[in-house]
Amino acid sequence: MDTRNILSLAGVLLVLGGFGYYWGISGQQADVAPDTERRPDYVATGITGIETDEKGRLLRHMQARELRHYDRPRDEAQLDAPVFRLYDKGREAWRVTAEHGTSHDENTVVRFGGGVRAERRDPDAVPLTFNTTELYVYPREERLATRADVQIDSPRGRLASRGLKADMKAGELELSARVTGNYAPATR
């Protein structure tokens, strides 16, 4: 073998050995002082997500100022200033806004927190607005739920309750406890 090739090979091995030694030491130092801060695997700003049915009609629409995704210890996305819309037959039926939100389990449940407001936007239905500090939305099942205090406003009155369950498909609302308020049913 030519002397130049041997020297070149030796030089490459020496450089690789130096990198290996350097990375080996820095890896050991990282083990001594582990980073305990949870860090997202990605961050996105100004996000918009849209889900449609097989005919292309809108089902769900999500917007947020920022999204931070974590894959450990479980799959989770944290949202800043989320706006979540549910559609029925291509028309906006519900809109949920909050200061922050957390999506779990591949968006099967989204927890909204801080100044939560859910509005029924269907023009064919009686307008309703829920105001609370925490609200769970189950998008695929089209359900809302909270155990927190909630105020419900409509043109027919105002109700307050500790806890609520709403089935948006069936149009059913269950108030859990401490129900107060005034409500005037529609005339028939």
Average pLDDT of the chain, as a whole number: 80
Residues forming beta bridges with residue 112, ordered by sequence position: 101, 135
Q: Is the pTM of this model over 0.75?
A: no
Judge residue 3's burial from the number of C-beta atoms within 10 Å of its C-beta, 0-12 exposed, 13-18 middle, 19 or more buried.
exposed
At residue 168, the pLDDT reads 79
Structure tokens at 160: 């307050």
56 vs 31 pLDDT, higher one: 56
Q: What is the mean pLDDT of residues 150-170?
A: 90
Mapped onto helix, strand or coil, the DSSP state of residue 61 is strand
Cα separations (Å) of 36 from 30, 78, 79, 98?
A: 11, 19, 22, 29
In CATH, which of 2.40.110.10, 2.60.450.10, 3.90.1150.10, 2.60.40.10 is domain 42-183?
2.60.450.10
Q: Name the residue with tokens 């559609």.
A: 87
Mapped onto helix, strand or coil, the DSSP state of residue 40 is coil
First-residue to last-residue Cα distance in the chain: 102
Instruction: Write the pLDDT tens digit of every residue in 59-96.
Output: 889 999 999 998 877 789 999 999 999 888 888 988 99
Mapped onto helix, strand or coil, the DSSP state of residue 4 is helix
140 vs 58 pLDDT, higher one: 58
Structure tokens at 147: 């155990």
Instruction: Write the pLDDT tens digit of every residue in 21-39.
Output: 444 544 444 444 455 577 8
At residue 183, the pLDDT reads 77
64 vs 173 pLDDT, higher one: 64
Cβ neighbours of residue 50 under 8 Å, at least 6 residues apart?
58, 60, 61, 62
- By DSSP bridging, strand 58-70 and strand 42-52 are antiparallel
138 vs 105 pLDDT, higher one: 138
CA–CA separation, 85 and 69 (whole Å): 21
Indicate if the pLDDT at residue 15 is higher than 80. Answer: no
Q: Name the residue with tokens 């939305």.
A: 137
Of 151, 172, 148, residue with least CA distance to 160: 151
Which one-letter DSSP state was computed for residue 186?
P
